[in-house]
Structure formats: structure tokens, C-alpha cells
Amino acid sequence: MAYQDTHLTRPQSQAVSTNKVLRNTYGLLAMTLLFSAVTAGGAMAMGIERMNIFVFFIGAYGLMFLVHKTANSAMGLLSTFAFTGFMGFTLGPILSAYLTLPNGAQLIMTALGMTGATFLGLSAVALVTRKDFSFLGNFLMAGAIVLILAMVAGLIFQIPALSLMVSAGFVLFSSAAILYQTSEIVHRAGETNYILATITLYVSIYNLFISLLSILGIMSND
């Protein structure tokens, strides 16, 4: 009887592991986006006013730190839903403000459609071409610093043109982050923890949606 080797080769094992991380990441991402939509709807129903910017940063970065600390434990999933639920809750007042505009519902749906199309398109590029986008890592680090400084300047000077530039910058930054994170999973060069991968993609989608909504509002003089 001939011996049959049932062990996977290293490339095969790597492919199986990569596919598992991708499935878990996109599955968890879908659930967190749905949960965020529920908490955003809850905030809108309760008439919650827009959160103070400092409270927002403390809550968002505090919960994100918690996610990173618990990503390799059973608490990781709870921390993930706590973070994404909080982000959805803070989105509710913003959506309520846009809905008071004459074309607010149209702006929201347009931004939502553009966000979905952009995410699917960029993910397809990374998954189908299998190109390594790790070179975007340095760009993301530098871009984050520039955007933070630009945000601070925007809060101080309240210049509409600067707000438009910051929003456009976040669109580019978020798009690059989606390519980079998906590439990291595919090539196993970096992220193998699906919770951390989910959070990165979630934040990119959140920033992309908010930025597109802001740009559409500015362009429509609202």
C-alpha cells in the first residue's frame, strides 16, 4: 500500500491560515458595522447631541487601547464591540444634523454608497492582484502626523477650505490603510490577529464615510 502524505506543504498551510484570517476579519467587520448602525440609530432616536471633541477622543482612544490590550484574549471581542458601538453612537448626532438639511438623506446615502464601493474596490485590488502594499506603511505613519496637525489647525482657525483639505486627506489616508491592511493579511507580513485587522479596517471605513460626507456637504454648500 502506497504511503500518502496528508501533511500540508508550507505554502498550502500559509494559504489556509491566511484564508482563515480573512474570513474571520470580514465576518467580524460585518457584525461590527451592523452593531455600529444599531447604536447610531439608537443615538438618533434618543436625540443625543454631538459629543464634546475631547470626550470623543478620550473614549475612542481609550477603547482602542483596550482592544489592543485584549486582542489575544477572550475579552478581545467584547472590547471590539464596545469600541465600534461607541463609534456608532457618536455617529448618530452627526447623521441627525445632516438629516435636518434639505438634501441630507441623499448626502448620507451617497456617502454610504461611495464608501462601500471604495472599500470593495480596494479590497478586490489587494486580494486579486496579490500585490504587496507594505510600502504604504511609511506613508501612513507620516500621513497620520500631518492629518492630526491639520485637524488641530482646523479646530483653531475654522477655515472651510482647510476642513475640505483635511477631509480629502482622510479619504486618501483611509484608502491607503485599507490596501495596506488587506495586503498585510494576504502576505502574512504583519497582521495575523483578525481582531486587530478588523479594527484597522473599521476605523478606515469610519473615517472614509465621515470624510466623504463632509466633502459632499461642503460641495453642496450645506
The reply to whether 116 falls in a domain is: yes
Arithmetic mean of pLDDT over the chain: 85
The reply to whether 69 falls in a domain is: yes
Taking residues 191-205, report their average pLDDT: 87
pLDDT at position 132, please?
A: 83
The reply to whether 50 falls in a domain is: yes
Total domains, the chain? 1
The reply to whether 5 falls in a domain is: no
Its domain, for residue 52, covers 10-219
pLDDT at position 193, please?
A: 82
Residue 124 CB partners (closer than 8 Å, separation 6+): none
DSSP 147-215: HHHHHHHHHHH--HHHHHHHHHHHHHHHHHHHHHHHHHHHHTSS---HHHHHHHHHHHHHHHHHHHHHH
Q: What is the pLDDT of residues 106-144, one digit of tens each?
A: 999 999 999 999 999 999 998 888 888 888 888 888 888
**Quick one: CA torsion of 144, 51, 48, 111, rounded to 10 degrees?**
-20
The reply to whether 133 falls in a domain is: yes
The reply to whether 195 falls in a domain is: yes
Q: What is the pLDDT of residues 142-162, one digit of tens each?
A: 888 888 888 777 777 777 777
pLDDT at position 60, please?
A: 92
Distance of alpha carbon 186 from alpha carbon 78, whole angstroms: 26
Confidence grade of residue 192 (pLDDT, cut at 50, 70, 90): low
- Please give the backbone phi and psi of residue 23, each rounded to the nearest 5 degrees, phi first: -60, -45
Q: Which residue has the higher pLDDT, 10 or 21?
A: 21
Please say whether the beta carbons of 188 and 17 come within 8 A.
Answer: yes
pLDDT at position 107, please?
A: 93
Q: What is the pLDDT of residues 95-104, one digit of tens each?
A: 999 999 888 8
Q: What is the pLDDT of residues 23-77, one digit of tens each?
A: 889 999 999 999 999 999 999 999 888 888 888 989 999 999 999 999 988 899 9
pTM strictly above 0.75: yes
The reply to whether 74 falls in a domain is: yes
The reply to whether 1 falls in a domain is: no
pLDDT cut 90: percent of the chain above it: 49
